[in-house]
Amino acid sequence: MMTLSIILLALAIIVQIYDAWSTITIIRGGGIEKNKLVAWVIGRAGLVPAVVCLKLGISGVMVWLVCGYGEHWPIPVALAAVIVFYVKMFWNNNFKHDGI
């Protein structure tokens, strides 16, 4: 049963949705994209199309991996790593930490 991979996949996709929303909101509010590759894609395709396509692509790869490999060792670990990476990125970049 792929329960662990499905749960991690769902969480990873939720993280992608939040990242897309926060990226669009922050850039529209005057912020900048710090990832140079993503900034380049946004400059060529436009903010919303670039962010949505990038997030759909990342999510599609994750779905493909879970459907193809399920519970095999690297998949749940990789999904957990994606979630941890994005949460740490959100904490460091999307929130103000005055005095912390």
Question: What's the number of domains the chain is made of?
Answer: 1
Residue range(s) defining the domain that contains residue 82: 3-92
Q: What is the pLDDT of residue 98?
A: 54
Looking up tokens 């749940």, which residue turns up? 76
Classify residue 75 by its DSSP letter.
H
Q: Is residue 50 part of a domain?
A: yes
Q: Are 25 and 60 spatial neighbours (Cβ–Cβ below 8 Å)? A: no
Q: Give the global pTM.
A: 0.85
Q: What is the pLDDT of residue 12?
A: 97
Q: Is residue 64 part of a domain?
A: yes
Digitized pLDDT (tens) for each residue of the chain, 100 residues in all: 468 999 999 999 999 999 999 999 999 999 999 899 999 999 999 999 999 999 999 999 999 999 998 778 889 999 999 999 999 988 888 776 555 4
Q: Is residue 99 part of a domain?
A: no
Integer Cα distance of 42 and 33 in angstroms: 9
Q: Are 55 and 16 spatial neighbours (Cβ–Cβ below 8 Å)? A: yes
Q: Is residue 55 part of a domain?
A: yes
Q: Is residue 98 part of a domain?
A: no
